[in-house]
Structure 1
């Protein structure tokens, strides 16, 4: 995974957190949704970025929201998408 891709995703999540009045820091394995850091509206924003920047197919019947629950899971999703 290229460093600029990692930075783009991390910055996107950080910006969403700041827009929600939260600190921009998060660790790679903490749940972004179960922790309450992100909600469904934030998920839409994040998914739109993943779709437009990385070509993630949100209509894929195998897509599950848990694939974007942590930064590490998002990176796994991007790696899988790049290999497909």
Structure 2
């Protein structure tokens, strides 16, 4: 077996391994997304506003300064629109 054929074989095996790992993770991600949808559906069934819950989750990902800056800009824009 020539060095080039061996190198191509190793590269193909490596590529296949990467693809298979990504495919497994994509399956897990889809399962987790389904679990999250079920939790939101359960919360909605218990009277919670899912849109607001999603907003809270988004806000919790940001630090305090970033949230304050965003709120200040929102307030400024609302004032500019007479809201």
TM-score range, shorter chain: under 0.3
TM-score, length-normalised on structure 1?
0.25
TM-score by length of 2: 0.25
With a CA cutoff of 8 Å and minimum separation of 6, indicate the structure with the bigger relative contact order. Answer: 1
Structure number with greater Rg is 2
